[in-house]
């Protein structure tokens, strides 16, 4: 899914929960999710109020825009949503991370527990069966 500049700006200016809703619909449609990873294989993460956060986006353009400051050398990684849910998400959850859905710049996105994210995504995926 290619995101044009207008959509990039419009979605980036949404409130965090609206971006969360947008992301759920987009990844259910494309079946892809995007993260950031360093050259040595470390995933991008942040910490807010003693919570470890794992960032995710619905398109590579959004993830690229977030690759600033501490993440400036990170690359965008595309993952199949089913692999993400079956493997990566379990690892994230077992490591005690919450999902930072759609952070923009240095601003935290919508923070959600992995099981709540999975529930919401599975509900949306039913619309595509």
CA atoms within 13 A on the CB side of 22: 23
Specify the CATH number for the domain of residue 21.
3.40.1350.90
What is the pLDDT, as a whole number, of residue 1? 65
Nearest 5 degrees, angle CA 102-CA 32-CA 94? 70
Q: What is the DSSP letter of 59?
A: S
pTM comes to 0.93
- Nearby residues of 73 by Cβ (< 8 Å), 6 or more positions away: 38, 39, 67
For 50-108, the pLDDT digits (tens) are 999 999 999 999 999 999 999 999 999 999 999 999 999 999 999 999 999 999 988 89
Please, where are the H alpha helices in 1-129? 5-12, 16-30, 60-66, 81-83, 89-94, 114-125
Domain containing 51: what range? Answer: 5-128
The count of structural domains within the chain is 1
For 25-49, the pLDDT digits (tens) are 999 999 999 999 999 999 999 999 9
């Amino acid at each position: 899914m290619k995101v044009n500049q207008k959509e990039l700006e419009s979605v980036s200016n949404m409130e965090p929960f609206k971006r969360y809703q947008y992301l759920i619909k987009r990844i259910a449609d494309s079946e892809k999710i995007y993260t950031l990873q360093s050259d040595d294989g470390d995933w991008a993460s942040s910490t807010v109020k003693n919570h470890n956060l794992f960032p995710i986006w619905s398109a590579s353009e959004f993830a690229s825009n977030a690759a600033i400051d501490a993440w400036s050398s990170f690359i965008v990684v595309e993952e199949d949503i089913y692999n993400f849910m079956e493997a990566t998400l379990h690892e994230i959850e077992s490591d005690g991370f919450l999902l930072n859905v759609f952070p923009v710049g240095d601003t935290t996105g919508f923070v959600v527990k992995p099981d709540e994210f999975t529930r919401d995504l599975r509900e949306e995926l039913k619309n595509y069966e």
